């Protein structure tokens, strides 16, 4: 069955089934967007989308494992058939597997899994969905969930795999921003602060709602491109 092409402004969020990603989905749909909540697990993703649709929000789930090139390709194919264009892409999915582990002790499997998800994942998703965004006459907005731990200016001990992945994400932000400027597509990185999620832990001072708010604000405003933000300010690379 072919679906009618969607005209409503549309946003896609990776890792939308929990944490900051889930809140980003809630806030973007509350702001009037048709939100594609994506996640690697069908059951968890559908359950998350159901919570939002039961609140009257325009959200649907599509399976997308950012670390699996076939999964990314399949999701992009499905959405390219169904949507006229894409307005917002939030590269939110991420893992932090070596928090506080000294660089001398981090094992290669951890480094590899971190890079596959946080770097290759962002690359695959961004490259796969840019053509759909380029169909939008008004351009678009891409936000990369980064971290101050990836800032070279703030580099310190431990957490090497995660830090490295976010430094690489910041590089992608600059390169994609430069290449997409003529398509009126802005690309920015943001650190949401230290947020109370499974990744951030229960001691984190920032709620998922607040963490998501700065991401959504950055996605909606189109004043900057190729920049890194934290707490509403430009942050050093
Ligand atoms: P979280 O609660 O652990 O959620 C991570 C999300 O990413 C989950 O939905 C998870 O899905 C998804 N994910 C992981 N691997 C995936 C894959 N291969 N394909 C698709 N989805 C995948 O983390 P969070 O705190 O919300 O973090 C969201 C983003 O913010 C991350 O990029 C993180 O680095 C960044 N960030 C967080 C903090 C913080 O303090 N929390 C600070 C700075 C930056 P599953 O449920 O399937 O695992």
Q: Which of 226, 215, 139, 145 has its CA nearest to residue 183?
A: 139
pLDDT, residue 6, reads 61
Q: Cα separation of 229 and 224, whole Å?
A: 10
Q: What is the pLDDT of residues 76-102, one digit of tens each?
A: 999 999 998 999 999 999 999 999 999
Report how many domains make up the chain: 1
1 assigned to some structural domain: no
Q: Which atom of ligand 1 is nearest to the CA of 71?
A: 19
Catalytic residue among 33, 43, 120, 162: 162
- pLDDT of the residue at 4: 58
The response to whether residue 198 sits with its C-beta less than 6 Å from ligand 1 reads yes
Whether 21 is covered by a domain: the verdict is yes
- Domain membership flag for residue 2: no
pLDDT digit string (tens) for 51-81?
999 999 999 999 999 999 999 999 999 999 9
CATH classification of the domain holding 114: 3.40.50.720
What domain range is 88 assigned to?
Answer: 10-234
Q: Which residue has the tokens 């650190």?
A: 191
**Strand duo 227-230 + 233-234: pairing:** antiparallel
Confidence (pLDDT) at 101:
98
> Active-site residue 120, yes or no?
no
Residue 148 falls inside a structural domain = yes
Put simply, whether the predicted model's pTM sits higher than 0.95 gets the answer: yes
The verdict on residue 134 lying in a domain is yes
Residue 4 lies in a domain: no
Q: Which token pair is 230?
A: 């934290």
Could you tell me if residue 3 is inside a domain? Answer: no
Residue 7 is predicted with a pLDDT of 72
């Amino acid at each position: 069955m072919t679906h009618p092409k969607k005209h409503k402004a549309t946003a896609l969020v990776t890792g939308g089934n929990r944490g900051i990603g889930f809140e980003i989905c809630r806030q973007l749909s509350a702001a009037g967007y048709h939100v594609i909540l994506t996640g690697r697990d069908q059951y968890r993703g559908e359950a998350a989308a159901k919570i939002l649709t039961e609140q009257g929000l325009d959200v649907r789930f599509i399976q997308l494992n950012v670390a699996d090139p076939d999964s990314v390709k399949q999701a992009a194919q499905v959405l390219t058939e169904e949507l006229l264009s894409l307005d917002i892409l939030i590269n939110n999915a991420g893992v932090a597997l070596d928090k506080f582990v000294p660089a001398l002790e981090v094992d290669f499997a951890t480094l590899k899994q971190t890079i596959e998800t946080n770097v290759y994942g962002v690359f695959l998703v961004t490259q796969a969905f840019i053509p759909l965004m380029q169909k939008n006459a008004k351009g678009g907005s891409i936000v990369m969930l980064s971290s101050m731990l990836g800032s070279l200016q703030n580099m310190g001990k431990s957490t090497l795999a995660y830090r490295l992945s976010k430094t690489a994400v910041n590089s992608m932000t600059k390169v994609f921003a430069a290449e997409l400027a003529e398509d009126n597509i802005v690309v920015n990185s943001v650190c949401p602060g230290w947020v109370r999620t499974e990744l951030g832990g229960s001691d984190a001072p920032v709620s998922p709602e607040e963490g998501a708010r700065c991401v959504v604000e950055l996605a909606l405003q189109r004043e900057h491109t190729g920049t890194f933000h934290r707490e509403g300010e430009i942050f050093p690379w």
